[in-house]
Amino acid sequence: MPNPSDTTRSTGPDAVAAGRWILDRAGTTVALRHKTIWGLVTVKGAFNDVSGEGEVSADGSARGSVTLGAASLDTGNAKRDAHLRAPDFFDTDRFPSLEFTADSVIPGADGRADVTGLLTVVGKARPLAFSARTTESTPTAVTLSAEIDVDRADYGLTWNKGGMIKGPATVALTVRFVHQPG
């Protein structure tokens, strides 16, 4: 018997309305985690300033963007957060936002969506492709979740005192978009 609190619905071209969509900040989280201290400690943080929009075509494909306020990253450690805002990392005075522009979001029959686009960090845009899981798909709301590994060196973020930072950063996101009629 289906769980009445489960809002997941099947995906497909007729599952969502064509037109303009806006990111629902209340239903969205963008967090990251990264190994540090030679892989012994995982630093976690979340961006508190997230915005976005998109367009769904009649065939169900979509495109859009998500923008993160770089200075809004909160790891729970004020000194570390100040360093992440400095030129060693995000250089938020010069580059106040990080942006992912999705050129293509293609829904799949299995509740997955193939996403391709450009991720821009500190003024450097690099291609990024990943698979997202659709956790909600109604005519008026769509929620996608994904975990994406991002190599910070691809964006020139190479500060690594004593070799303490290991491997890629993992971005865990849940983005919810709501349809804007008209």
| Residue-wise pLDDT tens digits, 150-170 | 998 899 888 776 666 777 899
Q: Are 121 and 94 in contact (CB under 8 A)?
A: no
Q: Per residue in 103-128, pLDDT tens?
A: 999 988 789 999 999 999 999 999 99
Query: What pTM does this model have?
Result: 0.86
Phi, psi values for residue 54, rounded to 5°: -160, 175
What percent of the chain shows pLDDT beyond 90?
Answer: 70
Domain extent listing, the chain: 19-180
Q: Which CATH number fits domain 19-180: 3.40.50.970, 2.40.128.110, 2.40.160.40, 2.60.120.10?
A: 2.40.128.110
More confident site: 160 or 43: 43
